[in-house]
C-alpha cells in the first residue's frame, strides 16, 4: 500500500469544494481592494531564500540539486518569489503595485494538526506605497479577507520592529543577545525572557518595564519607555495614525497593539502583524505580515514593500471548528432513462441543459428507478428528469422535485426555461 508523503494531504471532491469556495471568496475580496493576481514557479533558485536568511534556512527547506547541477528549492513562501518577479519584470509598472496570490508552499516542518510540509498560502504584496493609509488598508484587507470567509472569532495583533530595535539599543543589547531574545518574545515566553535579559546584563527594573511594554496595549506606557529615541517616537506616532485610520476610516476596531509580535522571518522591519483564530489552539496563527525589505537585496531600485500571507489550510480548519456550513457540492439535475431506448434522448436533454450552464448528470449504469433516485439523493440533486416512453411519445418528460417528491409533466420544449438559472 502506498501512502501520501508525511506532512502532505490528498483533497477529495468534498474537500476541494471547500477549498474552491474559499479561494473564490478570497479572490473576490483581493480584487475588491484593487489587487491583481500573480503566479510564480513552485521552485526557485535556492539562493533566493538564503540571500536574506543565510544557509541555516536550508534545514527548513525542500532543497535539491537538479540534473543540470542547479541548486533549487521548493518555495517555503511567496514573498521572495514575488519580489524576484517584480525586480525582473515589473519595476516599470505604475505604483503602487498591488499583487495577490494563491500558492502551495513547502517547509520541512514537524507535521501536526494545522502544520504541514505542503500547505497553501493566500497572500499579497503592495509595492511602492508606505503611507499610513496604505498600511491601514493592508491591515484592513487582511482582517476583511478572513471576516468575509465567514470566520467569526479572529484577533488582529500589531507590533513594530523599529520600536523593538530602539528598545534593544536603549538596553545596550547586541545582535547576539537579540538572536536569543527575539524567539522568546515571539513565543511570549516572558519568564525565560526575564532570565535571558538578566544574562545580558539588563537591570531588573529595565527588564520588568520591557516585559510590561511588550504586553501592554497602552500607547502612553510605550511612549514613556522610548521617549529618548526620536526615530522610535516618530514610528510610534505613525502607528497611532495608522490605528486611528483603521478604526475611524476602515471601521475596524477589533485589534490590539502588541509589541511582542516580532515575526519569525528575517526580512521584516517597521510594522508587523498577525491574525490568530483562538479556536485552533496551538497552531492558531492564520495570517502574518508587515513591511519588509527585499527589493534592493535582489538588485532592484529601493521602494517600500509590505504584505501578508494567510494560511489557507488553517482558515478551513478554523471555519470547520466554528461550525461554518460550506456551500455543498451540488448537481442541478439528474436524468434517469426508464429503459435503454430512452438513453439517446436523455443524453440530448443533458447536453441541451449543460449548454445553458446547468450542471447535469444522467444514469450511466442502467440501474432501476429506485437505485437511481437513491443515487440522486446522495448527490444532493435538486431535480430529477425521468425520461419514459409514454411521456416521450407526447414530447414530454417527468420532472421530480427531490425535496418534496412532487412530480410534474413538462414539455420537452420547456425544459430549458424550467431550469434556467436566474
Ligand atoms: P508566515 O507567517 O511564515 O509568513 O506564513 C503565513 C501563514 O502561513 C502563517 O500565519 C500560517 O497560517 C501559514 N503557515 C505557515 N507555515 C505553515 C505550515 N507548515 N502548515 C500550514 N500553514 C502554515 C510568510 O510566509 C510571509 N511570506 C508573509 C508575508 C507576505 N509577509 C509579507 N508578505
Q: Tell me the per-residue pLDDT of 17-72, one tens digit each, with 9 for 90 and over.
A: 999 999 999 999 999 999 999 999 999 999 999 998 888 899 999 999 999 999 99
Cα–Cα dist 340/90, whole Å:
59
For a ligand 1 pocket test, name from 9, 115, 288, 289 the mutation site with the most ligand atoms within 8 angstroms of its C-beta. Answer: 288
Burial of 262 (0-12, 13-18, 19+ CB in 10 A): buried
Cα–Cα dist 218/212, whole Å:
10
Q: Take atom 8 of ligand 1 and give the residue whose Cα is closest.
A: 311
- Packed helices 230-248 and 219-226: angle between N→C axes, nearest 10 degrees: 160
Q: Take atom 6 of ligand 1 and give the residue whose Cα is closest.
A: 309
The grid coordinates of residue 13 equal: 471532491
Query: What pTM value is reported for the model?
Result: 0.94
Q: Take atom 18 of ligand 1 and give the residue whose Cα is closest.
A: 115
Cα–Cα dist 238/231, whole Å:
11
Distance 287 CA to ligand 1 centre (A): 6
> Alpha carbon of 98 to those of 42, 65, 82, 155: distances in Å?
21, 33, 11, 24
Residue 422: the pLDDT is 57
> Alpha carbon of 124 to those of 76, 277, 292: distances in Å?
15, 20, 13
Distance 302 CA to ligand 1 centre (A): 25
For the chain, residues with pLDDT lower than 50 are none
The grid coordinates of residue 216 equal: 501592554
Burial of 102 (0-12, 13-18, 19+ CB in 10 A): buried
Nearest to 259 by CA among 173, 154, 167: 167
Cα–Cα dist 388/14, whole Å:
32
For a ligand 1 pocket test, name from 19, 53, 76, 77 the mutation site with the most ligand atoms within 8 angstroms of its C-beta. Answer: 77
Burial of 380 (0-12, 13-18, 19+ CB in 10 A): exposed
Q: Tell me the per-residue pLDDT of 111-164, one tens digit each, with 9 for 90 and over.
A: 999 999 999 999 999 999 999 999 999 999 999 999 999 999 999 999 999 999
Distance 183 CA to ligand 1 centre (A): 16
Distance 268 CA to ligand 1 centre (A): 13
The total number of residues shown for the chain amounts to: 422
Distance 408 CA to ligand 1 centre (A): 54
DSSP assignment of 351-372, as one string?
A: HHHHHTT--EEE--S---HHHH
The grid coordinates of residue 229 equal: 529615541
Ligand 1 environment, Cβ below 6 A: 77, 79, 107, 109, 115-116, 119, 121, 123, 125, 265, 285-289, 292, 307-309, 311, 313-314
Distance 169 CA to ligand 1 centre (A): 29
Structural Rg of the chain based on CA atoms? 28
The grid coordinates of residue 292 equal: 519588509
Residue 408: the pLDDT is 96
Amino acid at each position: 500500500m502506498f501512502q501520501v508523503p508525511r506532512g502532505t494531504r490528498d483533497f477529495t471532491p468534498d474537500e476541494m469544494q471547500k477549498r474552491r469556495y474559499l479561494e473564490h471568496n478570497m479572490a473576490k475580496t483581493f480584487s475588491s481592494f484593487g489587487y491583481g493576481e500573480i503566479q510564480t514557479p513552485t521552485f526557485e533558485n535556492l539562493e533566493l531564500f538564503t540571500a536574506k536568511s543565510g544557509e541555516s534556512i536550508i534545514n527548513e527547506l525542500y532543497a535539491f540539486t537538479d540534473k543540470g547541477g542547479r541548486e533549487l528549492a521548493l518555495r517555503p513562501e511567496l514573498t521572495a518569489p514575488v519580489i524576484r518577479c517584480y525586480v525582473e519584470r515589473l519595476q516599470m509598472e505604475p505604483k503602487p503595485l498591488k499583487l495577490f496570490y494563491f500558492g502551495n508552499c513547502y517547509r520541512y516542518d514537524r507535521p501536526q494538526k494545522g502544520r504541514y510540509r505542503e500547505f497553501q498560502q493566500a497572500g499579497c504584496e503592495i509595492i511602492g506605497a508606505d503611507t499610513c493609509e496604505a498600511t491601514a488598508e493592508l491591515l484592513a484587507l487582511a482582517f476583511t479577507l478572513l471576516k468575509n470567509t465567514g470566520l467569526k472569532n479572529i484577533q488582529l495583533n500589531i507590533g513594530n520592529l523599529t520600536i523593538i530595535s530602539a528598545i534593544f539599543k536603549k538596553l545596550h543589547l547586541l545582535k547576539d543577545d537579540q538572536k536569543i531574545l527575539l524567539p522568546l518574545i515571539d513565543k511570549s515566553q516572558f519568564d525565560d525572557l526575564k532570565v535571558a535579559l538578566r544574562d545580558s546584563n539588563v537591570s531588573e527594573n529595565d527588564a520588568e518595564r520591557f516585559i510590561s511594554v511588550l504586553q501592554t496595549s497602552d500607547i502612553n506606557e510605550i511612549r514613556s519607555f522610548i521617549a529618548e529615541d526620536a526615530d522610535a517616537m516618530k514610528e510610534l506616532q505613525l502607528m497611532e495614525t495608522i490605528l486611528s485610520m483603521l478604526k475611524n476610516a476602515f471601521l475596524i476596531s477589533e485589534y490590539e497593539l502588541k509589541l511582542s509580535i516580532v515575526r519569525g522571518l528575517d526580512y521584516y522591519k517597521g510594522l508587523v502583524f498577525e491574525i490568530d483564530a483562538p479556536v485552533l489552539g496551538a497552531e492558531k496563527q492564520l495570517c502574518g505580515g508587515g513591511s519588509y525589505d527585499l527589493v534592493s537585496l535582489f538588485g532592484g531600485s529601493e521602494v517600500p514593500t509590505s504584505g501578508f500571507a494567510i494560511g489557507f489550510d488553517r482558515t478551513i480548519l478554523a471555519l470547520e471548528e466554528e461550525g461554518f456550513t460550506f456551500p455543498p457540492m451540488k448537481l442541478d439535475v439528474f436524468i434517469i432513462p426508464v429503459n435503454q431506448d430512452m438513453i439517446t434522448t436523455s443524453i440530448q436533454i443533458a447536453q441541451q441543459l449543460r449548454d445553458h450552464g446547468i450542471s447535469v448528470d444522467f444514469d450511466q449504469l442502467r440501474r432501476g428507478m429506485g437505485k437511481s433516485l437513491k443515487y440522486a439523493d446522495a448527490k444532493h440533486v435538486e431535480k430529477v428528469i425521468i425520461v419514459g416512453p409514454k411521456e416521450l411519445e407526447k414530447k414530454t418528460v417527468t420532472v421530480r422535485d427531490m425535496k418534496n417528491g412532487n412530480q410534474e409533466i413538462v414539455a420537452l420544449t420547456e425544459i430549458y426555461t424550467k431550469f434556467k438559472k436566474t
